[in-house]
Amino acid sequence: MPSISAPCACEDAVGSGALHWWTVDRAGLLLAPEAPSFALIHSEQSSMCTRGRSRRPALRPDAVAFVLSKLRSVKEVLHLSGPDLQRRTHLSSPDVQLLLRAAASLLRGHGVCTALHLLRQEGPFPEQHQRLSLGCPVLDALLRGGLPLDGITELAGRSSAGKTQLALQLCLAVQLPPRHGGLGAGAVYVCTEDAFPSRRLQQLIAQQQRLRADVPGHVISKIRFGHQIFIEHAADVDTLLQCVKEKVPVLLARGMARLVVIDSVAAPFRCEFDGAALALRAQRLLALGAELRRLSCAFRSPVLCVNQVTEAVEEQDLVAGPPGMSPALGITWANQLLVRLLADRQRPEEVPLTPPGRTLRVVFAPHLPASSCSYTIAAEGVRGMPGTACS
């Protein structure tokens, strides 16, 4: 139900006679964002009913004021049944139905979004297509723009594959303005096994202009990268859950951070739970995953979980990765993820005469095909190698 905005003076409705902006929809109802917030009143200017129905008399000004005094929000309207609204507002049954229809249309949005609209990124919710850049055009192309803002992205891989390097690079990329692929906020970095690599972070900060040649120098020089990364250490599962439930939401709610990194998610669970406590481990994993997904969706903030890998033969068909390599924590954790990435590094014995190559693979994602590209790690950060992408 499309709507338009137009100014009208509603002296009887709000008592001030001032000019207010109202949203007029085809149902003949006005949606007022001013006090009382999102009040819905019947418009004298739009007394024609929708979809070719007959004319209905407009509400009297005193009835409009009475409705405004009884209903304070769209949520309150939708929580009441038709008879309850009639008793509270003294409106007729047809007027109550118009009221409910207008409230529902306000929350429903505009029309239907087709698959073609999604492909062209022309949907009614353009923020759904926003991504957090990885700081490299080749890696961004692999992920079609970067990390999605809703949901958990896992980065699994062998030791020395560059997982922490990429996590640090994202902590810097998120601080850039949105026009340069960032989110204009800091990052929360939760360490669960190793100390935070502060020395490497300072190297990356010093090399930002070299890595991000697409960003003007004056933009980078104004950002205090080292002051917007909030570090927390959580060596056990209880501390990790407490951090995610109590500390991280405060930073996200204040807008101080828009990225959450856990490095690594497997370490505390591997140390505390043995084979006899698999049910308890699954329960705690579900609690962690649910809280991370809630924070990501509520604050439009990507969550990156670095994960370890295990040697596995039977599960190889489920992973589509290198032979014998499977991300840790099993299917319980995999079900919490939106995107799973796998970073692989060739072992020195496999290529004794050349530097070991590295590959980043998309294992699964709802919006990405299974694909991969090669990358290198230099002083300035992680760079994808052009021309190495394959499906």
Per-10-residue mean pLDDT for the chain, 391 residues long? Answer: 36 33 38 40 39 48 67 78 86 82 71 71 61 96 95 95 97 96 97 94 96 95 96 95 97 96 93 75 94 96 95 53 78 96 79 70 95 95 92 77
- Is 88 found in the same domain as 147? no
Residue 384 makes CB contacts below 8 A (sequence gap 6+) with 136, 137, 138, 139, 141, 142, 360, 373, 374, 375
| Strand ranges in 166-256 using DSSP code E only, listed in sequence order | 186-191, 229-233
- Is 178 found in the same domain as 85? no
pLDDT at 355: 60
Q: Tell me, yes or no, whether 114 lies in a domain.
A: no
Domain count, the chain: 2
**What is the C-alpha to C-alpha distance for residues 298 and 146, in angstroms, rounded to an integer?**
19
pLDDT at 22: 34
Domain end (from 46, 75, 108):
108
- Is 28 found in the same domain as 155? no
Q: Tell me, yes or no, whether 167 lies in a domain.
A: yes
- Is 136 found in the same domain as 103? no
Q: Tell me, yes or no, whether 261 lies in a domain.
A: yes
- Is 366 found in the same domain as 225? yes
- Is 265 found in the same domain as 194? yes
pLDDT at 30: 44
Q: Tell me, yes or no, whether 391 lies in a domain.
A: no
pLDDT at 34: 36
Identify the CATH number of the domain in which residue 222 sits. Answer: 3.40.50.300
Long-range contacts of 311-320 (CB under 8 A, 24+ apart): 319/363, 320/361, 320/363, 320/370
Q: Tell me, yes or no, whether 74 lies in a domain.
A: yes
Q: Are 140 and 211 in contact (CB under 8 A)?
A: no
- Is 137 found in the same domain as 104? no
Q: Tell me, yes or no, whether 116 lies in a domain.
A: no
- Is 101 found in the same domain as 235? no
- Is 140 found in the same domain as 206? yes
Range of the domain at 72: 3-108
Q: Tell me, yes or no, whether 180 lies in a domain.
A: yes
* pTM for the predicted model, two decimal places: 0.69
- Is 259 found in the same domain as 197? yes
Report angle CA 100, 101, 102 to the nearest 5 degrees: 95
Domain end (from 51, 79, 108):
108
Peptide bond connecting 197 to the previous residue in cis, omega within 30 degrees of 0: no
pLDDT at 121: 61
Q: Tell me, yes or no, whether 390 lies in a domain.
A: no
- Is 178 found in the same domain as 98? no
- Is 239 found in the same domain as 187? yes
DSSP string, 238-291: HHHHHIIIIIHHHHHHTTSEEEEEEE-SHHHHHHH--GGGHHHHHHHHHHHHHH
